[in-house]
Amino acid sequence: MADSGLKNSLKKQMLKMTLIPLTLMTVAIVAVSASIVRKSITDHIQKELINDADLVSLIFDKFYNGDFHIERDETKGELVIYKGDQLLNGENTLMSMLSKRRNIDVSIFYEDVRVLTTLVDSEGNSAMGTKAAAVVKNEVYDTGESKFYDNVMVYDRKSFAYYMPVFGENGEKLGMIAVCRSAEDVQSSVFKYVLPIIGICLIVAIFFGIIMVCFNKKLAERIHKMDRYMNKLANGDFDYEMPRELMAEDDEIKSLANDGKKMARALKNLVEFDALTELNNRRSADKKLEEIRVRIVEMGMKYCVCIADIDFFKKVNDTYGHEMGDEVLRMVAAKLKKGMVGKGFAARWGGEEFLLIFDNRELDIAKRELSIIMDDIRTIYVPDTDRQITMSFGLTAMIPGESSDEALSRADANLYEAKEGGRNQIVCK
């Protein structure tokens, strides 16, 4: 039987070929989807932050006339920022309301230092006086150009931020206005949109995975059964029944199964049948005798065994040639096969000897039926001659508990007696 525990069995290979690509495809779809969603959300946030920055600038222009300018408070020794004549430092209700409403943080910089901000740390401390990241100073303040960042450190926190430069009365650079949103909030949004995609991909992957695994399992089982069937043939079990599953689908496996059946018949004919006479050969006869021996003991059935020999067959070969001898063997075999129909089993035992097995018969009944066969053999003549063919028979009943060799030895002794007694007769003991 085929070894089902092979390290690289086809079943394992097919399972890998199903699950690995399906898993990789699912991961790829989720990764691409997450990337697309993140890009979409990032683009949306960029537009929002640009609008928010414009809104902050608009609010200051709307409620405070004049330009931004920086002065130093001599009493406190601090820099203060003005919009026209309005001092902006300190509490700023408009910025606070905007920050809460838009879920953003707003900062106003002098150069790269925050002088007005809604940013606070986890303990509620204001970010007033902290500096912008060096990359922001270089790319926004120094160049005087606005810039969006999707991964910048804002007060020790990764954020999405938009920075725009602030100019004074004479067009000189004073600082920057920045609006930002925590990257954690954005990641939460990404996860919120990606999670359903992940769920759908997993459901689809599991669904198709189950279908593919079931299909591959069924296919692997059919291939395994085909392998087991071929191993049975290799071990000489030509009567092993072809599993129905192999013929279930009109595919290559069915074609292989049909070829297997043809090969089984060909091998059986080659191994169990005599090519010349088309009778069972000695190998199959031995197998039949062993089966009978078991049935006699277990079921109490009665069998008789006979060894038959063509009389003076050597003279036929010597006189008419081996081709004529082969023709005589074929004619005798045909008579024996015909005569044993419904009675039992006929086989070529070797040379000009034949074995007959009578199923479920007493010795006297078997002898009577054998007499009819013997008379039919007498009708055979060597072609184109008047030489009649006769046979001698040694018949005996098989005894429960004895070996098949013991019964054959007794039949052979009866055959010897028949030949010594003049041939063309049956000796039955």
Say how far apart CA 305 and CA 29 lie, in whole Å: 76
Query: Given this model, what pLDDT does residue 221 score?
Result: 78
Q: Where are the chain's structural domains? A: 14-189, 274-428
| Distance from chain centroid for Cα 254 | 19
Query: Given this model, what pLDDT does residue 2 score?
Result: 44
Query: Given this model, what pLDDT does residue 116 score?
Result: 81
Decide which of 3.40.50.450, 3.30.70.3190, 1.10.287.610, 3.30.70.270 is the CATH code for 274-428. 3.30.70.270
Q: What is the 3-state secondary structure (H, E, C) of 6-57?
A: CCCCHHHHHHHHHHHHHHHHHHHHHHHHHHHHHHHHHHHHHHHHHHHHHHHH
The CATH T-level fold of domain 14-189 is Beta-Lactamase (3.30.450)
Strands 426-428 and 391-397: parallel
Query: Given this model, what pLDDT does residue 224 score?
Result: 77
Catalytic pick among 245, 352, 402, 417: 352
Count other Cβ atoms within 10 Å, centred on residue 3.
9
274: burial class by Cβ within 10 Å (0-12, 13-18, 19+)?
Answer: buried
Name residues of the chain where pLDDT drops below 70: 1-11, 14, 63-70, 72-80, 83-94, 169
Query: Given this model, what pLDDT does residue 357 score?
Result: 95
Count other Cβ atoms within 10 Å, centred on residue 45.
22
Token representation of residue 81:
């920022």
Query: Given this model, what pLDDT does residue 88 score?
Result: 67
Stated as kind and residue range, the H or E segment containing 356 is strand 353-359
Closest of 139, 179, 152, 146 to residue 165, by C-alpha = 146
Closest of 107, 253, 245 to residue 180, by C-alpha = 107
161: burial class by Cβ within 10 Å (0-12, 13-18, 19+)?
Answer: buried
Query: Given this model, what pLDDT does residue 3 score?
Result: 46
Whether pTM > 0.85 for this model: the answer is: no
Count other Cβ atoms within 10 Å, centred on residue 220.
17
Is there a contact between 154 and 180 (Cβ–Cβ < 8 Å)?
yes
The owner of tokens 């079921």 is 299
- Residue 352 catalytic? yes
Say how far apart CA 310 and CA 314 lie, in whole Å: 9
